[in-house]
Amino acid sequence: MARLFGTDGVRGLANRDLTAELATKLAQAAAIILGEDARARGIKPKAVIGRDPRISGEFLAAAISSGLASSGVDVFDAGVLPTPATAFLTDDLDADFGVMISASHNPAPDNGIKFFARGGHKLADEIEDKIEAAMSAEPLAPVGAAVGRVQRFADAEDRYIVHLLRSLPNRLDGLTVVVDCAHGAAAGVSPQVFTDAGAKVIVIGADPDGNNINEGYGSTHMSALQAAVLEHGADFGVAHDGDADRCLAVDASGAIIDGDQIMAILALSLKERGQLARNTLVATVMSNLGLRIAMKEHDINLIETGVGDRYVLEEMRAGGYTLGGEQSGHVIFAQYATTGDGILTGLKIGAEIARTKKSLAELASVMKIYPQVLINVPGVDKSRVNTDAEVQQAVAAAESELHGTGRVLLRASGTEPLVRVMVEAADEGTAQSWADRIARVVEKQLAL
C-alpha cells in the first residue's frame, strides 16, 4: 500500500482523493500523535489552521476543525494565509501543531493538507508515519468541557505582517515593485507589507475567487509579471505561488531572476553583514552550476542536499545554517522562518536593492547561469540507474569531456518509473547533445 504522505503532506484532487472524511480522520489521528505532550501535561492541545483561497479549502478546514475539536484540541482558525504564516503563528502562539490546507502551485481543483510540529517545523517522516498509522485507531472522544473549542484567530494576519516588517534590515523607500499574488494566499498580505515597508506597489493577480488560484499568474506563469514591470517602469517584480512559500523575481528589463540567483544575491549580502552562519549556503543538487561557481569565487561554502525544501531545512537545522533554498524559489531564512517564505524573500530582495543602490540585474550578475537541459526518461527501472555499467560509462564520458565546465546528474523519480537526466554545460548545444546521448543509454539499458 502506497504511503499517504508525499514529499509535502497529503495531496490530491479535492473531494475525490482528498475528501472531508479523509480530512477528519487525518485530524483525529494528528490529535492523537501531535497532541500527546500537551495531554501528558494535563492541558488541552492547541492547533492553528490556515488555508489558501481555493474553494475546497472551506469544506476541508471545516472537516479538520471538526476532527480536532472532537478530539479535544482547541482550534485557532487563521483563515486564508500563506503557508509560512501558518508556520510562524504555530510558533508565535506556542501551539502544539499547525495545519495548512493548500496545494501550493497546483491548479485549483487540487488541494493538500500538511502539518507543522511545535515551533512551526515540518514533520519528520517517522511522525507522519505515526499519524498515518493512528488513522486506523479509535479516535479520542472526550465529552463535556473536555472537547475542543473552535475560534477565529482574529489578529493572525496582523501578527504575521509585523513579524515580516521586523525582519527587514532597512526600508524600501523610493522603490517601485510589482507584486504578483497568483490569486492566492499572498493577496491579503504581500501588497500591504510591501507598502508598509515604504515601496510604491503595483498589484496583479490579487483577486482570488476560489477557482482561479495560479491561473495565468504567479511563479508558474511569469509573463504577466514581466509585462507589468515593463509597463509601469518598476524597479523589480516578485511572483508568489498559490500558498506564497516561494518567490521568483523580475528585474527592470523584464528578465526572470530565479531562486539560485536570489540565493546568490542574499548569501553575499548576509556575508557582507556578518550574518551568514558558518559562511555557508545550503541548496539542492538541482541548483545551477553557476551558483556553485559564484559561491566558490566569493569564498562561501555550498552544501548540497536532495531535492525538496524539507531536506534543505533538515540540513540547515542540523548545521545551524542561516540561508538555504531551491532553484524554484523556496528560500529559507533560519533567523526568521521555519520554512520557505516568498513574501519575506521578496522583501529581502527589495531591501538589498535599496541598501546597495544597485539594480536587481546588477546584483544578479554575480552569478552566470549555465545552460541546463533536463530530460525525463519514462518506463525504466529507476532502481538500477546508479549501478548499470553502460549508464555509468556514458556519464563518465560526459564528465570527462566537460572537464569541470559542466555537470551531469541522474536522479530517480520519487513517485514515477522514470529517471531524470540533467546536464549543464557552458553552451546549450553541448548540454543538449550530452543529455540526449545519456537519455538514450538510460532508455535502452533500463527499459522495463
CATH of the domain at 389: 3.30.310.50
Is 196 annotated in some ligand binding site? no
Q: Across the chain, how many H-helices and E-strands are there?
A: 15, 19
Report the chain's mean pLDDT, rounded to a whole number.
95
Domain contains 5: no
**Residue-level pLDDT at 326:** 96
Expressed in percent and rounded to 5, the helix, strand and coil fractions of the chain are 40, 20, 40
**Residue-level pLDDT at 8:** 80
Residue 45 in contact with residue 3, Cβ under 8 Å?
no
Task: At 277, list the grid cell.
Answer: 552562519
**Residue-level pLDDT at 178:** 98
Is 309 annotated in some ligand binding site? no
> 109 and 221: one domain?
no
> 377 and 298: one domain?
no
> 398 and 277: one domain?
no
Domain termination site, one of 329, 364, 399: 364
pLDDT in tens, 125-147: 999 999 999 999 999 999 999 99
**Residue-level pLDDT at 304:** 95
Amino acid at site 71: S
Collapsing DSSP states into helix, strand and coil, what is residue 285?
coil
Task: At 51, list the grid cell.
Answer: 488555508
> 23 and 90: one domain?
yes
CATH of the domain at 69: 3.40.120.10
Number of domains in the chain: 3
**Residue-level pLDDT at 307:** 85
**Alpha-carbon span 121 to 112, nearest angstrom:** 17
pLDDT in tens, 199-236: 999 999 999 999 999 999 999 999 999 999 999 999 99
**Alpha-carbon span 44 to 22, nearest angstrom:** 23
Is 104 annotated in some ligand binding site? yes
Is 241 annotated in some ligand binding site? yes
Whats the size of the chain, residue-wise?
A: 448
- Grade residue 448 by pLDDT with cuts at 50, 70 and 90: confident
Collapsing DSSP states into helix, strand and coil, what is residue 126?
helix
> 113 and 141: one domain?
yes
pLDDT in tens, 245-277: 999 999 999 999 999 999 999 999 999 999 999
- Annotated catalytic residue within 65, 66, 104, 190: 104
Residue 3 has pLDDT above 90, yes or no: no
Residue 380 in contact with residue 419, Cβ under 8 Å?
yes
Collapsing DSSP states into helix, strand and coil, what is residue 168?
coil
Task: At 176, list the grid cell.
Answer: 517601485
Structural domain of 64:
10-158
Q: Is 104 a catalytic residue?
A: yes
Residue 1 has pLDDT above 80, yes or no: no
> 329 and 423: one domain?
no
Give pTM, 2 decimals: 0.93
Q: How far is CA 420 from the centre of its chain?
A: 21
**Residue-level pLDDT at 376:** 95
**Residue-level pLDDT at 16:** 97
Collapsing DSSP states into helix, strand and coil, what is residue 222?
coil
pLDDT in tens, 33-56: 999 999 999 999 999 999 999 999
Q: Would you list the DSSP string of 358-424?
A: --HHHHHTTSPPPPEEEEEEESB-GGGTTT-HHHHHHHHHHHHHHTTS-EEEEEE-SSSSEEEEEEE
pLDDT in tens, 368-395: 999 999 999 999 999 999 999 999 999 9
> 304 and 381: one domain?
no
Long-range contacts of 234-237 (CB under 8 A, 24+ apart): 234/176, 234/177, 234/178, 234/202, 235/175, 235/176, 235/177, 235/353, 235/359, 235/360, 236/175, 236/177, 236/178, 236/349, 236/350, 236/353, 236/360, 237/177, 237/178, 237/179, 237/180
Domain termination site, one of 158, 184, 206: 158
**Residue-level pLDDT at 308:** 83
Domain contains 41: yes
| Cβ contacts of 292 within 8 Å, gap of 6 or more | 302
Domain contains 189: yes
Residue 2 has pLDDT above 80, yes or no: no
**Residue-level pLDDT at 415:** 66
Domain termination site, one of 158, 181, 200: 158
Of 412, 438, 434, the closest CA to residue 424 belongs to 434
Percent of the chain with pLDDT over 70: 99
Tell the residue number behind the cell numbers 488513522, with chain if given: 135
**Residue-level pLDDT at 152:** 95
